[in-house]
Structure 1
Amino acid sequence: MPKALLKKSLVKGASLGLALLLAGCSSLPEPQYPPADLPKTTGKQQLVSEWKDHSGYGERWRGYELMPALDGDLLVAADAQGLVQAFDLSISGFFKSDLLWSQELDQGVSAGLTLADGNLYLATQNGELLSLDARTGNTNWQVKLSSEALTPAQVKDNLLVVLAADGQLTALDTVTGRQLWTYASVMPSLSLRGSSTPSLTSLQSFTGLANGKLVAIDNNNGQVRWQSRIAQPSGRTDIERLVDVRGQAKEAQGLLLVNSYQGQTHALDPFTGRSRWSRDLSSYHAPAVLNNQVFVVDEASRIHALDLYSGTSLWTQDALYGRELTEPVILENSLVVADYQGYLHLLDPKTGEVTGRKGFDLDGIRALPIVNNNRLLVHSIRGRLGLFTLKK
């Protein structure tokens, strides 16, 4: 087989849809994390269903993570075959439809959706980025990227930044779609399927890369302000040397928090990239932060709580071991994760105690749950949409 030929192989274990892109013909191992049985819960908390519908085909076996977008009463969802639907949640009643608009794109959607300033931004499987009017579905502009994007575009003021699967970071004007700058990273021969979602401030864009580095880019000119190594490749094989920074970097209390696969969890100075503390925790996901605590779901789906300022371990919960958990999110003052069987788990962030559980879709949940105005929006692999609140 020619060396340039790319093979995709699904690695089962820590997370559904973690496919590896491999140059050459060697086979891939399958690290196994046997899933734990559903743990008992205290029943202290319950999720209440507020709304449900269907996005169409969903993600299915294609390995995409198609997070819907929610802003107030406007909810937009898409599927891997190109169906895009917008719902107005303020419309209710037996004879009224909350479907605002719907359209079929020529290509399937490849990444989660972004709503900002009345516009919807979405990436397609043929490597295009589209801007649509969120209330009508009319196209504002569309541009061609260097390859398909696997994570949502991020918007700050009039700047949009998107990372393509080939490692190229592109900044666009949100109004016109005009390219402002690009940054190209060097991709290793083997990497996890998926990319890091950029994180934007008014001055810088932070992006994790497949080579184990986090880079800070000046928003004005696209120049590198600093780059920091989050994980150091080691071992003899390409598989052993995988060090993707796949989760989004999160800013909290003057620190920049970032995880890496087969590497570490770091707290960095956002202006210099210097590490304030680090822990040997390997993760595919971004951390979550609440009340000076950092929550990390590791590659085996153990949940860790760390002190924000020191990185000291506060607790570890392994009752959900091997259940291929999503990135953790904060709903009011509760920690929420979803798993490969479509269950939503509630945890007490102070103790790690499992306080509640809600079944949603046995086909599983791969996409990051979305939190907006104390509501939890979930999208299953087969396209079910559910909106939940915590029971008071």
Structure 2
Amino acid sequence: MKAATRFIARPLSLVLLSAALGGCSLFGSSSGPKPAALEAQVGSGNARQLWQTRIDGVQFPLSVATAGQSFVVAGNDGVVQALSAADGAVLWRGEAGAKLVAGVGSDGRFAAVVTRDNELVVLDAGKPAWRKPLSSTVSTAPLVAGERVFVLTVDRQVMAFDAADGRRLWDLRRPGDPLTLSQPGVIGAFKDTLVVGQGARLAGVDPLRGTLRWEANVATPRGTNEVERLADLVGPMARVGDTLCARAFQSAVGCVNAERGATLWSRNTGGTRGVGADAQQVYGVDGSDRITAWKLGNGDTVWSAEQLLNRRLSAPLAVGKQLLVGDYEGYVHLLAADTGKTLARLPTDGSPVMAAPVLLGDTVLVATRNGGLFALRPE
């Protein structure tokens, strides 16, 4: 299957496949640049696989949720499961009743997904609770928090629903850009504030009323036409204390102080996947799969690594002193966080890693396009 970056033109609502943005997808194109050869003499290092299981497959932008001691996942077929992080045992299982385009968000009890029919479906401990048709297309997994379900549409409208009964509580509409990106955006929580991506800005929203508290630019859109000025924030977002970091599509990586709602720094750089971070650095993958580390405090470049060029990498995950990224052949690469040098490489099932690896405690979960779920422990 070939994937291409999509963007939505408003108000005509045309879905375009952009040749100009070729290679921006997770899979890339078979006619693109040749992927770098795997480095020789790289073993599994101190990482090991704890368990593995399988779901139907993942051909939509999956976001793996973590809640308590469980991972919450969903497959193409709409089956949603909570899996024990310790051994992969199924804690509960439910069905959305249709194939999915986005998911999954969960607080452990409630889980939310969006179907291809553009319905928001919420399960309560695996049992169908309610479903609502949505008026706008969704590519981002819903957020479930504070007994509410928050939905971010591709035109960056934000909607809030009561998690128990599906009542629509509020919606926030901002002045729209001519083009919006049909790619997972940014939605998360910081203390008592809902944080969403609104074009090239991070916005802090009152989750009870849907009113804007603050907004801060991650990028300043530039260009001579609407395509060149497209700079929507793409997920995942990274949080370290009061600092939130995100990538603006093909434009920049930047960090914001969420307590003050102020931009800390922004660096011009291409790329289409979200970022990872730890207490010292922010990590991102550009359009050629060059990996760069920036200082968390001021955005200065620490290192760049080119050994995985054109391997269609996932967004990165920082774990301890290591950085994890998945590639199009299902390998999980472990890099030294201080230098970018390769430490280890672990195989999965040979199909592309479909989402940023997710950490819960000391366990990392990796999901592949063929539906493989692999729990790893870097040590």
**1:255 Cα deviation from its structure 2 partner:** 2.5
1:95 alignment counterpart = none
- Provide Cα deviations, 1:310-346, integer angstroms capped at 9, x if missing partner: 1111111111112111111133432100011111000
In structure 2, distance between residues paired with 1:31 and 1:247:
26
Does residue 15 of structure 2 align to residue 7 of structure 1?
Answer: yes
- Provide Cα deviations, 1:251-297, integer angstroms capped at 9, x if missing partner: 32433322212322222232444322221123323322223211122
Structure number with bigger Rg: 1
Distance 1:343 1:109, change over 3 A: same
Q: Counterpart of 2:364 in structure 1: which amino acid?
A: L
Q: Counterpart of 2:75 in structure 1: which amino acid?
A: D
- Provide Cα deviations, 1:344-381, integer angstroms capped at 9, x if missing partner: 00011011111000111322112222211211111111
- Note if contact 1:146-1:164 (Cα within 8 Å) is conserved in structure 2: no
1:55 alignment counterpart = 55
User: Which one has the bigger strand percentage?
Assistant: 2
Of 97, 100, 117, which residue of structure 2 is paired with 1:106? Answer: 97
- Provide Cα deviations, 1:191-249, integer angstroms capped at 9, x if missing partner: 4321313121233222113x322222122321122333333333334332221211244
Q: Counterpart of 1:67 in structure 2: which amino acid?
A: S
1:369 alignment counterpart = 357
In structure 1, distance between residues paired with 2:315 and 2:137:
22
Q: Counterpart of 1:330 in structure 2: which amino acid?
A: A
In structure 2, distance between residues paired with 1:5 and 1:306:
37
2:321 alignment counterpart = 333
- Note if contact 2:147-2:162 (Cα within 8 Å) is conserved in structure 1: yes
TM-score with structure 2 length normalisation?
Answer: 0.85
Identity of counterpart residues, as a percentage? 28
Q: How many residues align?
A: 368
Aligned residue runs from structure 1 range 1-392, under 5 A: 4=12, 6-9=14-17, 11-16=21-26, 32-40=32-40, 42-43=42-43, 45-56=45-56, 58-60=57-59, 64-71=60-67, 74-87=70-83, 98-99=89-90, 102-134=93-125, 137-209=126-198, 211-390=199-378, 392=379
In structure 1, distance between residues paired with 2:28 and 2:189:
25
- Note if contact 1:39-1:319 (Cα within 8 Å) is conserved in structure 2: yes
Q: Counterpart of 2:58 in structure 1: which amino acid?
A: E
Q: Where in structure 1 do 4 or more consecutive aligned residues deviate above 6 Å?
A: 89-92
SS at match of 2:231: coil
- Note if contact 1:315-1:352 (Cα within 8 Å) is conserved in structure 2: yes
Distance 1:102 1:116, change over 3 A: closer
- Note if contact 1:127-1:148 (Cα within 8 Å) is conserved in structure 2: yes
In structure 2, distance between residues paired with 1:48 and 1:308:
29
Distance 1:203 1:318, change over 3 A: same
TM-score with structure 1 length normalisation?
Answer: 0.83
Distance 1:89 1:281, change over 3 A: closer
- Note if contact 2:236-2:315 (Cα within 8 Å) is conserved in structure 1: no
In structure 2, distance between residues paired with 1:343 and 1:243:
30
Stretch moving more, 342-351 or 196-205: 196-205
In structure 2, distance between residues paired with 1:80 and 1:364:
15
- Note if contact 2:80-2:95 (Cα within 8 Å) is conserved in structure 1: yes
CA root-mean-square deviation? 3.0
2:7 alignment counterpart = none
In structure 1, distance between residues paired with 2:67 and 2:208:
28
SS at match of 1:246: strand
In structure 2, distance between residues paired with 1:87 and 1:306:
34
- Provide Cα deviations, 1:86-130, integer angstroms capped at 9, x if missing partner: 5457779xxxxx455555533212223223142222222222222
Gaps of 5+ in 2: 1-10
SS at match of 2:283: strand
In structure 2, distance between residues paired with 1:178 and 1:315:
48
2:5 alignment counterpart = none
In structure 2, distance between residues paired with 1:202 and 1:36:
42
